[in-house]
Structure 1
Amino acid sequence: MLAHTGEVSVHWHAVVGALLTDPELDARLREIVILRVAYLTGSSYERLHHEEIAARAGVPADVIAELARAEPRPAAFNATQNAVLALVDALVRGHHADEGTFKAVHERVGTEVTAKLVLLIGVYVSTAVFLNAFEVDMDAGARLGVIAPT
């Protein structure tokens, strides 16, 4: 469906690609963020796609499964991951994070990575809304029944 947005899709892919390949973002942490967004937004496409990517990035299967819980158990994650997950949950559920949540992340990863994580969360929430709106599934069509360009 995104291909039907013309020039917008080119720029969207550039932003997503930059975040997915950014050397400052640890691949495991990036995938934990994306999967948590997928679970919280009910995006089956993102979830199925990124479970595989997360596994290849070295995220253990039990950690991937833990992300699907309403309240993941802190013991399954390290301190940085727990701080970042608190940020994801706050931003996705309430669209705002308090100072303590930001401080906990910032102290662990710094300003640049904190900003990139917030952008990553926002980009994947937007992606989930798009995918969910058109009921995009891993193996087939979309709500509008538009045939994908070849």
Structure 2
Amino acid sequence: MPPASARMTVPMARAPHPDPDALSPATRAALAGLPGNNVFQALAHADAAFAPLMALTASLWNDADLTPRRRELAILRTARLVGSDYEWMHHVEVARMVGIGEDEIAAIDAGDLAAGGFAAADRLLLDAVPSFLERRRTDDAAFAALRDAIGLRQLVELHLVVGLYATIAAVVADLDVEPDARSGAFELDHDAHGPRLGR
């Protein structure tokens, strides 16, 4: 039997990596521009949807008004609330790259947001994520406060980020996507705002 370090990189999920020859050119091209993470291989089984899904994801990373910091705060909060260690492992490294501090990361990890010393707008964002996931809407006061703090465009983008990463977490869980040896964050291109997804 190979050592544990070698076994970690061998996909042992419910869905093996797809045969590249069975994938559409669009899916193969999208995969070529992404880190070699097991989650992308799993999602590529949805061949017709994969390239559009990655285009949506890239737009939320690269082009949205929602700042990289706020995006990653939302993803970390989502990952913890839905119990996705896979997403957490990858995005905690991205979070560090966009300036999220260790105290803030620890506070989200522990579910003790008061310990994180978050700015007011960031705290409103983090507090909204459970409402997005559990009730699909915030109450009127929370909605107004968040809209006033970050603007309606960023609020809608925040909904898309939370919904997208909750959906990906569900796929990861149901397909038993194998953990990667290290975060794909280290394979990403960067610009002045931080890591960019896709090439």
Q: Same fold (TM over 0.5)?
A: yes
Highest CA radius of gyration, 1 or 2? 2
Aligned to 1:120: 161
Structure 1 residues 75, 64: closer, same or farther in 2, change over 3 A?
Answer: closer
Structure 1 residues 115, 100: closer, same or farther in 2, change over 3 A?
Answer: same
Question: Pick from 80, 98, 107: which aligns with 2:121?
Answer: 80
Aligned to 1:43: 84
Distance 1:131 1:75 in 2: 28
Distance 1:122 1:60 in 2: 24
After TM superposition, list the pairs within 5 Å mapping 1:1-150 onto structure 2: 1-73=42-114, 76-139=117-180
Deviation at 1:73, TM superposition (A): 1.3
Structure 2 residues without counterparts, runs of 5 or longer: 1-41, 182-199
**For residue 139 of structure 1, what is the amino acid of its counterpart?**
D
Distance 2:117 2:107 in 1: 7
Deviation at 1:69, TM superposition (A): 2.1
Structure 1 residues without counterparts, runs of 5 or longer: 141-150
Runs of 4+ in 1 over 3 A off after TM superposition: none
Distance 2:50 2:113 in 1: 34
Could you say which structure has the higher helix fraction? 1
Q: Give the TM-score normalised by structure 1.
A: 0.86
Deviation at 1:102, TM superposition (A): 1.1
**For residue 138 of structure 1, what is the amino acid of its counterpart?**
P
RMSD: 1.6
- For 1:99-121, what per-residue CA distance to the aligned partner results, in whole angstroms no more than 9, with x for missing partners? 11111110011111111111111
Identity of matched residues, %: 31
Distance 1:19 1:85 in 2: 18
Tell me the SS of whatever aligns to 2:96. Answer: helix
- Please, which moves more after superposition, 82-91 or 33-42? 82-91
Report if the CA contact (8 A) 1:33-1:88 is conserved: yes
Q: Give the TM-score normalised by structure 2.
A: 0.66
- For 1:40-69, what per-residue CA distance to the aligned partner results, in whole angstroms no more than 9, with x for missing partners? 011111100000000011101111111112
Report if the CA contact (8 A) 1:84-1:105 is conserved: yes
